[in-house]
């Protein structure tokens, strides 16, 4: 059976996902700016999160599962 046919329920971009992630990134960057200048690792963390979240279904599950560790990286 075709793997792509099995995975047809995954939707990469939804309006809800875009708004929630935009809000998370803006709140995180605002908080980081209040705490001090924005560093390169914070930009990397944000880009890495967005890349994995919008990559595919497996990377989305991975980033959601390990999000607690990302929060404590802050």
* Tens-place pLDDT, residues 30-51: 998 999 999 998 899 899 999 9
- Collect all residues with Cβ–Cβ distance below 8 Å to 50 and sequence separation of at least 6: 21, 25
Determine the pLDDT at residue 9: 84
Rounded to a whole number of angstroms, the CA Rg of the chain reads 15
**pTM, rounded to two decimals:** 0.75
Domain assignments of the chain as residue spans, ordered by start: 12-73
CA distance 49 to 47: 5
Residue pair 13/54 in contact (Cβ under 8 Å)? The answer is: yes
Least confident among 4-8, 23-27, 62-66: 4-8
């Amino acid at each position: 059976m075709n793997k792509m046919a099995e995975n047809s329920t995954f939707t990469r971009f939804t309006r809800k996902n875009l708004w929630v992630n935009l809000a998370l990134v803006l709140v995180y960057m605002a908080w980081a700016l209040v705490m001090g200048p924005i560093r390169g690792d914070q930009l990397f963390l944000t880009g890495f999160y967005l890349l994995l979240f919008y990559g595919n279904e497996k990377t989305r599950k991975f980033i959601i599962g390990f999000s607690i560790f990302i929060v404590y990286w802050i």
